[in-house]
Each structure stands twice: as structure tokens, then as C-alpha cells.
Structure 1
Amino acid sequence: DSAVSAALLKEAGYQVTGVFMKCWSAEDSATGVCTAEEDAYWARRVAASLNIPFYSVDLVKEYKERIVDYFVSEYKAGRTPNPDVMCNNEIKFGVFYDKAIEHFNADYVATGHYARIRHDEDGTKLLRGLDKNKDQTYFLHRVPGEKLKKVMFPIGEYTKPEVRELAKKFNLPNAEKKDSQGLCFIGKVDVGDFLKKYIPTKPGAIMTADGKKIGEHEGVQYYTVGQRKGIGVGGGIPYYVIKKDIETNTLVVGTQYDEKLFENSLLLQDTAWVNDGADLPVNVQASIRYRQEPQDAVLEKDKNGFMLKFAEPQRAITSGQSAVIYNGEEVLGGGIIV
């Protein structure tokens, strides 16, 4: 996606410089799995094929302090954070953005995100990507409009299949390479294995909603509301996490559509807005997880933050995750679910 973005910009006449962000290293990996070297190799090959300058920026220290430490501390507190949201805000469009503008004297910072930017008399707006299956505005909602003025998303107007075809058209060396997956910059890592490097195991009871003990867990911090895989209760009906009790170290489970998994509202704190917030209350749409189609809701001010009240009950609203607020195609902002 980044490679095609660079190719499109060069074709349009821009002077393009390729910059690779190194944010993780094999020595620091909890699992021994790190894709940074491989990613850098492919980035270098793409830059060579496009005949553009290539640089690597070491952001390992900043990433550890701002993303990994945050990620671990949130899990320790019993919440489930979204590191990719914070990575975009703190690293890509934070530390790296500043370096690009100040050190490389860039006029714009371009990335391979599936999102769009529109400039009009009301300011700079962030819009959903045309490919709704790949739209990445969920991860970008904390980037302010002032910064978006100097940001470009060249593939936001394309679908993923079209981007694949463009990669072949430009003869990019990674045209057939599979998409990267997993945690932002860390790669395909089992979250439980990663967390065990930082959070000691603490066995406790797995209970059903009606109080029956059906097993033991290694520590409630490793689990997420709505999770099914990895609970460790075999046989019979599949169980899903419906509650984590940090104080009693108890994991409460139920069936997939247990009524306790559904809620009509949520409280948002640590909110961020692309531009100035709207007059409240206001009808909006909101997503409580990546790739969820935005759901109709009312956004209201609350003494403890902002309240989202949904038209339909939502399954597995998860503390620590982000809720992103839309007005049609436009991203208004979002916040952290309490």
C-alpha cells in the first residue's frame, strides 16, 4: 500500500522520498518474532525500483515509551487498548510527522492508509476510504485536522484489488507480497505470549454468569470481553468472556449471545476531535471496533466525559478500546471507552 502510494505520487510529479520507521527490534521481541528487518528490506527494494531516495528513522525508544508501555499498563489495569490507534497519533503522525516536516523539509507526509482527506471552507476533513472493507479511519481518528493539512493518502480513492493491480502496473518488487498483519510494527505476535513477558501469570477461577466454576485462567489481564479463543475451557458449548473482575481475579464467561454481552450505551473519555466538536446532543454513527459498520447513536455531553447512546444494543463493548464517531463519510473524532 505504501509502495503504490509512492509510485502514484511520483507519477503525479511529486519529488518523493521513502522513509522507513524502525520501531521494534528482534532483541526486544517477547516471542523472537520481529518483521522490522524484513519490512526494511522490502521498503529499500521498492525505493530502488522507483529510483527515489531512501532513509531509515530509528524510533524504537519512542515506540517503547509511548506505545508498548501504554499497551502493557492498560492490560495490567484490566483494559484492552488499541495500540494501532495510539501508534498513528503518537508515532506516525506524531514523532515521525515532526521529523519529516522539520528534518526532511517535507511539504507533505504520505502514507498507504485507506482513507481520504477533503479540504473545504470549513477546514480539513478526514473521510472514510472508498474501500469500506479496508477503510482505516478507525485508526486515524485522533490525528487533528491541522496536521491533516500536510498529509496525503494516495490510495484512499482505490479498492484493495485496484491497488494490487497498480502494484503490478508499476512493476513493484512486492506486488505479490501478502499484507502485513498483527500489532502495529511488532508483526504477527500472539498477544498473550507478548504480555506474559511483562505481566506475571496469576491463576484464578473461570466462572459462568450463574456462579458455577468451570475452569482456571492464567490471569484476567490477558483476556478481552467478547473473546472466545484461548479461554481454556474445552468440550461442550463455546464460551465467551463477558466480564473481567480484576479485584477478585475472576473471569466470567457466557454464551455467544448472552444478554450480559450487550449494552445500549457507553462512556467516552480522553476524546480527540479532528476539528471543533459539534453542538450536543447530536445524531451520529459510531464504531466500537475496527471494521464494524458505524452504528446509529446519539452523542451527548456527560459529567464524566461523553456518552454514546446507540439505537440498537451493541455486543462486547470493551473498556480501553476506541469508539470512533462519524457523520456519514466524515470522521468527527472519538475517544477511549471507559
Structure 2
Amino acid sequence: MKKENTSTKAPRRVKKIEKTVFVGLSGGVDSSVSAALLKQKGYKVTGVFIKGWYPDFLPCEWREERRDAMRVCAKLDIPFLTFDAEKDYKKNVIDYMVSEYKKGRTPNPDIMCNKHIKFGSFLNFAKKEGADFIATGHYARKKEYRMKNDECRYELLEAQDKNKDQSYFLWTLTQKELKHTLFPIGHMQKAEVRILAKKFKLPTALKKDSQGICFLGKVDLKDFLNHYIATKSGAVLDMEGNKIGTHQGVNFLTIGQRHGFVINNKINHSKPLYVVSKNITKNTIVVSDNYKDKSNSQGSDTIILKKTNWINNKPNKDNVYFVRFRYRQSLIKARVVLKSKKYIVNLFEGFRDISEGQSVVVYDRKGVCAGGGIISVIL
């Protein structure tokens, strides 16, 4: 005989709190898998294609990317939206980039795109539409911890996949932005993301990774800038000041670059030559075959930053940090000090491939991104 359940208590039900996430879908595999993972975890997901600004002289590829994003949403059975960021993108990314190159500096448009568009206007749009979070396909990690006063704080960490880590492009993030941001694939290897894309049967599973400028894609930077910056040929000088060749525009050349100029007598200069300095006023560049020689007197070990942002705590002058001023560059030991209201990066060794306008991103020993700034002066 079966024993009856005489309990009068109702079964306990766990109330599910459904959080809403707007995922920025680029039409690529990383953001697609991010959306799929979030839906799998129980989030209420909406896919959003962010439309940037596209000049008339470039092939119109954004419609294809948008179509792929729509197909992903259809496969996942989630809503799809298009967010028009054209005006903000033109002003804060393209106009900024052109202005910096005109001044002879080397900007990073992807960083400005993240700051002003993805974690700026897009985040604001998502919050106004009722989203609790935004998510992107960036290879980076976020860590949450609580202070003694029970306040939540957030850290930005390098991705698990060091070859794909994109924390360099995210140094402008603030606590308020990190609070509402998710990085679903930051703990994964790229190969794992590809495998998941196939398991989820996403239409972007076999799509190649995108390259180039944020939203614009793979474009020839010199050709692009030629539409906005008037150029003229100038002299290429050796370390002694002798003219050894010509270039077609000093604005387009970056310190450390080994292309974009012509040497008259290649027999006397058989080794690869690199740009070690440039003079916008005189329209000249200086090249050398030993710019990586850190013992060379031309090496710089002091950098003054502007427009700094510290994600959590400001740097401690006594701590040893690790910095990079190029994406995927090996980390360099340094100290960061505040002097006369300016942050100064003192590298442990001199480097010659540093350019004004580049971003210096600072990490601690544990791979936590402390923040960074834009190079203002190189000493």
C-alpha cells in the first residue's frame, strides 16, 4: 500500500529572475556564439546590429553583415534590432582619426569605437530600452568583487586566449560601463568558440574573422586617408641626415614602419629600414636599420600620457606594472608615476617604435588591466 503524502505545504518554487541582454552582433562568429551562450544560460537576449558610418568610396558591406546578424537571430529565435550610430561614429571615430593623422600622430580608431559607440551610445540605447546588460564578442574577462562596505567593484582582465586578447582596446571602460557589460567568450579559446558555433549550428560558424578598422572592415588606410588629407612627397633621411629616398606622405607613416617609402640605392641599404622619427613641418622622415636596438641612444624610455582612465585604482608609483603601446605587443616592465598632474610611464628599457597618439595600456602582475592613456610626449 502506497503511503500518502499528507503534507499541506505547497512545493517550493524558485522564482527565476530573467535578465535582459542586448548583444552587439557584428555578423561574425564571436558575437554570434556570445548570443547563443547567453540564451543557453537563461538570459532574455536581443541581438542588435550597430550601424556605423560608411563613405561612398568604399564597398557597401554592412548590409551583408547585418543580414548575417539577422540570420543568427532567426536561428536562435531571438528578437533583432538595428541601432543607428552613424553620426556618433563619424564624429568620434572617423573625424578623430583623420584629425590625428593630420597632426602626424598615430591614433587607434578601434579604441575610440569602443569608448564612444559600443560602450557609449549603444550601452545608453540598451539601457533606455530596458536592458540590464550589453554583451559583445570581445576576448576579455570581467571579475566582480565586493568591498568591505558591500559595494560591488569590477576588474577588466586579459582573455584566457592570450593570442586573441582584446583588453588593449578596452582600457577606457569605467566602473559604470563594466557593471552593465558581459564578455561571454572571454574565458574561452578561439578554437572552442568555433566548435560551439558548429554545435549551435550558427550560420556564421565557418565565417572568417573580420579585420581592419572597427565597422569599416579591412580597408587600405592610406587610400582611405587620401580622401581627407592632402599629401606631398618628401625626403627620406638616414641617421646622419643624408637624403636616401622619398616618401609619399609623412602623415601616413608610423614609427617602426618599414613600408611606405622608396630608397634610391638599395645596394647600400640591403637591410630592412624602419621609420625612427618624422617631422611634419619639414615633411621628412628618418629611417634606420637598427631601430629595435634598445641600447641605441635614440631609444625612448619615458612617456607622458594624456586623457588617462583608471578602471579601478590609480597606479601606485612604487609598483611594477606591465604595459604595451601596440596590440599584441609583448608586455614591457614599467612604473607609472603622477607628476605635475600628469601620468608618466617610465619603461625599464628604451624603445624606438613609439608614436604620439598611440594608447599605452597598463596591466598588473595578475593580468588585470589597470587602464591607460594616450601618448602625448615621448622623451
Please confirm whether the aligned pair reaches a TM-score higher than 0.5, indicating the same fold: yes
1:106 corresponds in structure 2 to 131
CA distance in 2, matches of 1:86, 1:306: 20
How many residue pairs match? The answer is 334
User: Corresponding residue for 2:142?
Assistant: 117
- Rounded to whole Å, the distance in 1 between the matches of 2:348 and 2:323 is 11
Structure 1 position 217 matched with structure 2 position 247: yes
**Residue 323 of structure 1 pairs with residue 323 of structure 2:** no
Alignment-derived partner of residue 13 in structure 1: 42
Structure-1 residue corresponding to 2:33: 4
Structure 1: distance between partners of 2:355 and 2:297: 12
> Per the alignment, do residues 47 and 232 of structure 1 end up closer, same or farther by CA in structure 2, a change over 3 Å counting?
farther
The yes-or-no answer on 1:238 pairing with 2:272 is yes
Residues 245, 261 of structure 2: 8 Å contact kept: no
Checking the alignment, whether the CA contact within 8 Å between 2:255 and 2:352 is kept in structure 1 is no
* Aligned residue in 1 for 2:8: none
How far the C-alpha of 1:237 sits from its partner, in A, is 2.7
Which of the residues 340, 350, 353 maps onto 1:303? 340
The CA RMSD measured in Å over matched residues stands at: 1.5
**Post-superposition shift, 1:281?**
4.0
Larger Rg: 2
One-letter amino acid of the structure 2 residue matched with residue 110 of structure 1: A
Say if 1:29 and 1:302 are closer, same or farther in 2 by CA, change over 3 A.
Answer: farther
Superposition deviation, residue 304 in structure 1? 6.0
Q: TM-score, normalising length from structure 2?
A: 0.85
* Equivalent residue, structure 2, for 1:44: 70
Q: Give yes or no for contact 1:3–1:46 (8 Å, CA) kept in 2.
A: yes
Q: CA deviation at 1:323?
A: 0.3
- Residues 1:260 and 1:231: Cα distance change in structure 2 (over 3 Å): farther
Question: What residue identity is the alignment partner of 1:329?
Answer: G
How far does the alpha carbon of each residue in 1:100-137 deviate from its partner, in whole angstroms, 9 at most, with x for none?
111x2101000000011111024111111100011100
For the residues of structure 2 that align with 1:167 and 1:300, how far apart are their CA atoms? 45
Is structure 2 residue 328 aligned with structure 1 residue 291? yes
- Partners of 1:253 and 1:293 in 2: how far apart? 23
Matched AA of 2:176:
E
- Does 256-265 or 311-320 show the bigger shift? 256-265
Q: Which residue of 1 aligns with 2:99?
A: 73
Partner of residue 178, structure 2: 148
**Residues in 2 aligned to 1:261 and 1:154: alpha-carbon distance in whole angstroms:** 43
What CA distance in whole angstroms lies between the structure 2 residues aligned with 1:71 and 1:232?
26
Structure 2, unmatched stretches of 5+, are: 1-29, 148-152
Q: Structure 1 pair 166/323, CA: closer, same or farther in 2 (3 Å)?
A: same
Deviation digits for residues 67-109 of structure 1 (CA, Å, limit 9, x no counterpart): 101000000111000011111011100011100111x210100
Q: Percent identity?
A: 47
Aligned to 1:129: 159
Rate the CA distance shift 1:53–1:224 in 2: closer, same or farther, 3 A. Answer: same
Shift of 1:279: 3.6
State the one-letter code of the partner of 1:16.
Answer: V
Structure 1 counterpart of 2:241, one-letter code: G
Evaluate the alpha carbon distance shift between residue 322 and residue 119 of structure 1 in structure 2; reply closer, same or farther with a 3 A threshold: same
